[in-house]
Structure 1
Amino acid sequence: MTGVLKLYDNFQSIFDKYGDVRTKGWFLMSSPLPTLMICLSYVYIVKVLGPRLMANRKPFELRRTLIMYNLFQVIFSTWLFYELSMSGWLTGRYSLRCEPVDYSQHPTTLRMVNVCWWYYFSKFTEFFDTFFFVLRKKTRHISTLHVIHHGVMPMSVWFGVRFTPGGHSTFFGLLNTFVHIIMYSYYLLAALGPQIQKYLWWKKYLTTLQIIQFIAIMVHAFQLLFIDCNYPRAFVWWIGMHAVMFFFLFKEFYNEQYNKPRKMKVESGTKEPCNGVSQTNGEVKKNSYSKQSDYYVNGDGISRPDLVQRTVSASANN
């Protein structure tokens, strides 16, 4: 125990020595432990405690709650994107090639530092995506990708706010908040009910947008390894490798959701139903459809609304 405390004191001294003095006293910024504990609690709640508590309970509908939550996230993400833009990225003040961290007390610089903290805080509000899954007993949608993405991000962003609030790394937040505006708009529409379903044909491209986002972040971060830029190399690797990890996780999800089902249909000789009729190996069967307004919300474009539930009726010969 004494060794653990000594190790913690050593890490804390590093945070105090090299951390940004402007954010040192801000809420949850003095030490990484509170953030780490919140992230671990999140994983325990959504993977163990929540499903256990909901095991013998009926799922909550939460339709109005989902509408209000997604509306809030759209507004919040829009504000974050605006602040990141006006603090540097879309004003010509920041360079895509190399942008060192400004540790001054300039008002515009402090505006960027402030929005960095709010971006960090937004990672906690996104936990509710998973909490709603649990309350609605959609536990099969709490995938490894989903939990890793949500559980890692607050801890990852904490280091940025504590050591490099501003500069090159905020490009990540700029792209991410832009994607979230589109993503939560999608889930807001999905939560409105099945009458909006015909307008949600673009869910596939939402995941594609996520993948493109991580590619752009990788290129933007790793370019600093080949040029002379006064930006910490440790954070270049930190941000770049996060983008690499999420790129492969989202790419795997994309393949499972959109490529494998299509391949399975081709191999089985099944064509998509048209006007209520499906063709399987030359045999025609009439289908009956039971539409369910069973929409759910996810945090980062990695899930989609449950679509039409199909049940095959007996053939006329039976």
Structure 2
Amino acid sequence: MVSDGISTEIGNYSFPYEELADARTRPWLLVESPWNIAALLAFYLLMVLYGPKWAARRKPMKLRVPLFCHSVAMALLNAHICLELFTATRALDYSFGCQPCRVSYNPHEMRIAAAFWWFYFSKLLEFADTAFFILRHKWTQLSFLHVYHHSTMFLMTWVFVKWKPTGSSYFPAMMNSFVHIIMYSYYALSVLGPRVQRFLWWKRYLTALQLLQFTVGIIWTSQMVIRGCEYGTWLSAMGGVYTVPFLFLFGRFYAKNYSASTEVKKPIK
């Protein structure tokens, strides 16, 4: 029930701004209750905490077929999301710089909302990436950057699909899904063995593309806040601030793995 004008009681939990949630996505799977999100995030973090201890007592698994199938499926899903967002927003002549979120049941608006829900759901499916690292004993890939990225993206996309599933939210989702098409295509190719892996010299440029994505995202959200875009200044500011750590963490990863100093081996004295 609504008790104070700005919150809804869920059991003994006061859920802020529930009455402002978008009516179109409210009944959709894993959107209504924050408890679903809390439970899934708790499961993910427990997997990260205890999964390696369990897996370390067993032999590493190769999982080539599951890895390939998952990567191909994720590449296709992100292609669908990207295409739906692009074609539906073009059909509605969405503004690139500032597009308010209107509660409209226009078919194209509903396509955008549905694509954004799939974008949110894809972040749940990405938890499998972490499970694969654990089962394959890829401990170095189970980094703070990886865990922070996967856990917080799931939470952030839930916030947007619940409150602002259309409007300007389309641009960062479309940009991210495009990057993930390339990323999961790389993952699928990388499990096909040495004959294919020797052609995957462009891995460093995939990280550079991610850095470009974060840079564009920060600039884009900044102009929305400066202009006072009706889409929702607080959400825009939150998205921009949220992206800054990624720019730093991915930048540090790129410098550590691909800088000229790490590529040139020092002579042994």
TM-score, length basis structure 2: 0.91
Q: Which residue of 2 aligns with 1:94?
A: 94
Question: Aligned partners of 2:146 and 2:101: how far apart in 1?
Answer: 31
CA-to-aligned-CA distance 1:92-140 (integer Å, 9 cap, x gap): 6111121111211111111111111111000011111110011111122
Query: RCO higher in 1 or 2 (8 Å CA, sep ≥ 6)?
Result: 2
String of CA shifts for 1:74-103, please: whole Å, max 9, x gaps: 111111111111120x44611112111121
Change (3 A) 1:247 1:13: closer
2:17 paired residue number? 14
Write out aligned runs for 1:34-113 (5 A).
34-46=36-48, 48-88=49-89, 90-91=90-91, 93-113=93-113
Q: Which residue of 2 aligns with 1:26?
A: 28
- The structure carrying a bigger helix percent of its residues is 2
The alignment partner of 1:155 has SS state of: helix
Instruction: Render the CA deviation track for 1:210-246: whole Å, top value 9, x for unaligned.
Output: 0000111111111012224212111011111121121
**CA shift in 2, pair 1:7/1:91, >3 Å:** closer
Verify the 8 A CA contact 1:102 1:167 in the aligned structure 2: yes
Aligned partners of 1:34, 1:21: CA distance in 2, in Å? 18
Counterpart residue identity of residue 152, structure 1: T
Higher Rg: 1
Partner of 1:240: 240
What pairs up with 1:1-318 in 2 under 5 angstroms? 11-12=14-15, 14-15=17-18, 17-46=19-48, 48-88=49-89, 90-91=90-91, 93-259=93-259, 262-263=260-261, 269-270=266-267, 280=268
C-alpha change, 1:105 and 1:265, in structure 2 (3 Å) is: closer
- CA drift of 1:12 comes to 2.2
| Deviation of the 1:265 alpha carbon | 6.6
Larger CA deviation: 119-128 vs 223-232: 223-232
Q: CA deviation at 1:51?
A: 1.0
Please give the alpha-carbon distance, in whole angstroms, between the structure 2 residues aligned to 1:109 and 1:149. 28
Name the Cα RMSD after superposition. 2.0
Determine the structure 2 residue equivalent to 1:306: none
Unaligned runs of 5+ in 2: 1-7
Runs of 4 or more, structure 1, over 4 Å off, are: 5-10
Letter in 2 for 1:14: Y
Report sequence identity in percent: 36
| Separation in structure 2 between the aligned mates of residue 255 and residue 148 of structure 1, nearest angstrom | 19
Q: CA deviation at 1:11?
A: 3.6
Q: TM-score, normalised by structure 1?
A: 0.78
Mind listing any 5+ residue stretches in structure 1 that lack a counterpart? 271-279, 282-318
The one-letter code matched in structure 2 to 1:41 is: F
Q: In structure 1, what is the Cα distance between the partners aligned to 2:114 and 2:262?
A: 49
SS of the aligned residue for 2:99 comes to coil
For 2:58, give the aligned amino acid.
Answer: R
Q: Quick check: 1:130–1:142 contact (8 Å CA) kept in 2? A: yes
Give the match's secondary structure for 1:254. helix
Shift of 1:14: 2.3
Distance 1:7 1:72 in 2: 36
SS of residue in 2 equivalent to 1:12: strand
Judged with a 3 Å threshold, the aligned counterparts in structure 2 of structure 1 residues 203 and 97 are, in CA distance, closer, same or farther, namely same
Deviations 1:254-285 (A, max 9, x none): 111122xx42576x743xxxxxxxxx45xxxx
Aligned-pair CA distance for 1:162: 0.7
Contact 2:99 2:167 in 1 (8 A): yes
Checking the alignment, whether the CA contact within 8 Å between 1:169 and 1:239 is kept in structure 2 is no
